Amino acid sequence: FLLVERYDRIADAHELSESKGQRRRLHQEDFCQALGVVPEMKYQNEGGPDLAQCFELVRRVTRPSAPQVLRLLDYVIFNALIGNHDAHAKNFTLLYSNQSIVLAPFYDTLSTAVYPTLTPKMAMKIGSKYKFSEVHVRHWDQFAQSVGLAKAPTKKRILELAKKLPMAARKLRSETDRDFTGSSVVEAIIALIEQRCALTIQRLPEHVTNNNDATDLPSAIQ
Active site residues per annotation: 86
Which three-class secondary structure string do you get for the chain?
A: CCCCCCCCECCCHHHHHHCCCCCCECCEEEHHHHHCCCHHHCCHHHCCCCHHHHHHHHHHHCCCHHHHHHHHHHHHHHHHHHCCCCCCHHHCEEEECCCCEEECCCCCCCCHHHCCCCCCEEEEEECCEEEHHHCCHHHHHHHHHHCCCCHHHHHHHHHHHHHHHHHHHHHHHHHCHHHHCCCHHHHHHHHHHHHHHHHHHHHCCCCCCCCCCCCCHHHHCC
